[in-house]
Amino acid sequence: MTPQMFALSLGLAAMLAAAQVAHSAPQCDSREAVTALLADRYGETRRAFGIAGEAAVMELYAADETGTWSITLTLPDGRMCLMASGSNYEAVTEDLPAKGAPA
């Protein structure tokens, strides 16, 4: 492979990687629109929430029936962004290992 072909293939790989990152960017809309989508399409309800940083609210939505879950972030301007989602949700409550104990 010539150095020019190698450089072109690296450039193409970089463009494909950048397109994947752009495609997976958080999707944001009004809080009402996002919560309606999670409820109507996936049957998810809010399971947990907390403060993220100084001004955002992180929420976990999940559905027992299907096992789907979503993590959202609500920004100070009222927009809610879908940050992550997945499957096989399982609620657990357990203590963390004692300091110095094997994990």
Per residue in 40-72, pLDDT (tens digit) is: 999 999 999 999 988 899 999 999 999 999 999
| pTM passes above 0.75 | no
What range does the domain containing 40 cover? Answer: 26-92
| Listed ranges 9-13, 26-30, 49-53, 90-94; the one with the highest mean pLDDT | 49-53
Number of domains present in the structure of the chain: 1
Instruction: Give the number of C-alpha atoms closer than 13 A to the C-alpha of residue 7, restricted to the C-beta side.
Output: 3
Q: Is residue 17 part of a domain?
A: no
pLDDT at 99: 83
Q: Is residue 53 part of a domain?
A: yes
Q: Is residue 101 part of a domain?
A: no
**H/E run at residue 87:** none
Of 93, 95, 74, the closest CA to residue 29 belongs to 74
Q: Is residue 8 part of a domain?
A: no
